[in-house]
Structure 1
Amino acid sequence: MSNLIDFPNPPRGDVELPAPSDLRLRGGGGGPYDPGMEVQVARLGAQVEHMQTDMSEVKNELRSIDDRLRGVETGLATLAEKVTHLPSKSYIVTALILMLGVVGAMIGYAETIQQFLGQVPAP
């Protein structure tokens, strides 16, 4: 059974680590001390801190997007409610035809209406 661990290359290109063969640790028994390991652990710690900062920024952005989406949902619900109360095309067309019929009848029977109201004497 081997106690050797291979560390993968870092995901970011701005940090250079030694070759994987230099990163092997011997487990148990208090093997040789690797002075470069502290530097490597510090670099990994800095990368983790950077990732945590990035993740907190992503969480803040997601909260902001969530708040804006709630506002959009509310606006859409309000708009949908208002649209349900609008008159339909058939209602508008029927009302327009009815009004044109009433105006046409008033023009056609204008003299009779004036006589009925007493505006023009009867012939």
Structure 2
Amino acid sequence: MSVDDSFMSRRSQEMRTEELERKFDQFEQRTGGGNGGGGMDQRIGRLEGQVDRIGDKLDRLNDRVRDQGETLAALSRDVHHLPSKGFIVTSTALTISLLTGILLFGDRLLALVGT
């Protein structure tokens, strides 16, 4: 590699570095860059306050969910002794069948009993 090539390579690298630094400076200006600008302590204080309030709300929400779990367990315990759907359907069908039979065959039943 000749001296000219080495010089050109270094110069090209320096130009690239300068271009990257310029782009970085532009980026910092657009995003606020650096130390976050003025009022950073106030903004951080506000954010910390908001995080504390969110934590309190989450604690209350966890308590409510826990209470709902206990309520659901109590409800399950309370309805466990109630009849099942199968029993209700069977007893209703049987009652309807008996009433229909009595209505249809009522005259014959009265004659059979003798009243």
**TM-score (ref. length: structure 1):** 0.45
**More relative contact order in 1 or in 2 (CA 8 Å, sep 6+)?**
1
Q: Per residue, is there more helix in 1 or in 2?
A: 2
**TM-score (ref. length: structure 2):** 0.47
